Amino acid sequence: MAQQPITLIGGGLVGALLAQQLAQRGFAVEVFEKRPDPRLAGFLGGRSINLALAERGLQALRTAGLADDVLQRAVMMRGRMVHDRDGNSGLQRYGVDDSEVIWSVSRGALNMLLLDAAEAVGVRFHFGQSLVGADFGRQRIRLADEAGVERELDAGVLVGADGAGSAVRAAMNAHAPLGERIESLGHGYKELEIPPAGELPAAVLQLSGGHDQFALEPHALHIWPRGGYMCIALPNTEGSFTVTLFLPAQGAAPSFASLPDATAAAAFFREQFPGLLPLIPDFSKDFDSHPVGTLSTLYLDRWHLDGRALLLGDAAHAIVPFHGQGMNCGFEDTVVLANLLAEAPDDSAEVFAEFQRVRQPNADAIAAMALENYVEMRDSVADPHYLAKRELGALLAARIPTHYMARYRLVTFTHVPYAYALERGRAQDQLLEQLLRDAANVADIDIEAAAQLFQSKLEPLPRLRHG
């Protein structure tokens, strides 16, 4: 193929995977990445930050031929381990069995693997190069190196995979407004670390329920739901866990504003997360030195500037992290875009319009579900009505798998469009609510009659996986 070269800004998770997929399909791809090469420089100062990989992201990695390599470096998570204030915990499985699990992967290790894979198929990376401006009239971009020295380059087709604070988006928006709306959640997050079990006193480990080198059960995503806020923890292969505290940014206690330093935060943890605090020996150092991250949802009317520039991944549709789907959604983007471009390599305007047409309703749907999931994670997982609905759902899933699948499973373990999962989830939820309204508890519900209700009101589920 001898189409226009593609200039990609951002060699993060989505940019590196897209570059690999485009090069595999014969495109010449140059990537400009703001940070130094993490394979040489060490990723983000060596902190272990992880994220959950689910079926959609895995499917994209399978398409790229990388799924097995990634899974070798991942820890399986079967469900949510919910911890109450009294130190009790229980596992809520995500799926029906170990074919429906999610995977904790290191962001840094995954990024480095994707960079290697892209380079292996001919992608050229330029590290320490920030996009600082673009002239779409002349199809030129302006880049600054780490010393701030600027230069101009021809860009050909420009693709922005430069994340939530995208400079490509800012340049496109300055050229022709994109209809940008950024809705802040009003909650922030801070990462803390539970070290491998070998670094903790035996007395602490006796109470925590871990095994081998892990201080907690390794094959779970841990949640300490506390109503308006929560902590979660995901395992890392070497035995540590990355803990994330989600809390309102401002306002009456508790909020990040009401916890100005580690001393105040430790007192708050002693009260609200008493079982967790002893597992974080560097609590004060972590709390004082790690920044508070902000959480927002990004909506745009337009993702592209005719055939000259396109946004994808977080640059187009950053979402809050409570469904663990931001990267998964961005990875899905890469396959759709690479396939569309391969079909019509000389018509980027048509391809970009079609990409937005296909992906935007789905990005909007996962944005909405991610916001809803915050309430579910921090609050509902410990709520009796939610648990009754879950129990009834599980009975129906076993009885009529053709007509009922929990929305979480549709999002996490299948490839049905996110927009379909949202709509189907609403319809199913209405029926579950109707059944629970008329019964004191789940045992009083006639499952045969409930199954018939679902079969009469809902279409059968579509084919749930493909490829």
- Which residues make up the interface to ligand FAD (CB under 6 A)? 9-15, 32-35, 51-52, 130-131, 161-163, 167, 189, 244, 293, 313-315, 321, 324-328, 330
Report the nearest approach of ligand FAD to the CB of residue 180 (Å): 16
Q: Which is nearer to ligand FAD, 326 or 345 (CB)?
A: 326
The CA-based dihedral angle spanning residues 463, 464, 465, 466, taken in that order and rounded to the nearest 10 degrees: 30
Distance CA 374, CA 378 (A): 6
How far is the CA of 133 from the CAs of 136, 155, 173, 225, 415, in angstroms? 10, 11, 11, 43, 37
User: Minimum distance between the CB of residue 388 and ligand FAD, rounded to whole angstroms?
Assistant: 28
Distance CA 232, CA 460 (A): 35
Instruction: Tally the C-alpha atoms within 13 A of residue 462's C-alpha that lie toward its C-beta.
Output: 10
Nearer to ligand FAD, 50 or 208 (CB): 50
Cβ proximity to ligand FAD, 10 vs 95, nearer residue: 10
Cβ 226 to ligand FAD, closest distance in Å? Answer: 18
Output 56 or 403, the one with its CB closest to ligand FAD. 56
Alpha carbon distance 268, 258 (integer Å)? 10
Alpha carbon distances (Å) from 108 to 61, 64, 113, 234 = 16, 19, 9, 15
Measured from the CB atom, the residue of 92 and 244 that comes closer to ligand FAD is 244
Q: In what order do the strands lie in the sheet with 304-305?
A: 124-127, 29-33, 6-9, 157-160, 309-311, 304-305
Q: Which residues contact 116 (CB under 8 A, 6 or more apart)?
A: 39
- Burial track 374-408 (b if 16+ CB lie within 10 A, e otherwise): bebbbbbbbeeeeebbbebbebbbeebeebbbbbb
Intra-chain end-to-end CA distance of the chain, in Å: 25
For the bound state, the minimum distance from the C-beta of residue 181 to ligand FAD, rounded and expressed in Å, comes to: 18
User: For residues 154 and 433, which CB has a smaller minimum distance to ligand FAD in the complex?
Assistant: 154
Chain-centre distance for alpha carbon 63 = 19
The answer to whether 366 and 418 have CB atoms below 8 angstroms apart is yes
Q: Which residue is nearest to ligand FAD (CB)?
A: 12
Query: In the bound complex, what is the minimum distance in angstroms from residue 10's beta carbon to ligand FAD?
Result: 3
Instruction: State the nearest-atom distance from the C-beta of 102 to ligand FAD, in Å.
Output: 8
Q: Considering the complex, state which of residue 105 and residue 396 has its C-beta at the smaller distance from ligand FAD.
A: 105
In angstroms, what is the minimal distance from the CB of 360 to ligand FAD?
A: 15
For the CB of residue 2, give the shortest distance to ligand FAD in the complex, in Å: 27
Comparison of 218 and 330: residue with beta carbon closer to ligand FAD: 330
Which of 58, 388 has the CB closer to ligand FAD?
A: 58
- Specify the amino acid at residue 177: P
Smallest separation, CB 168 to ligand FAD (Å): 7
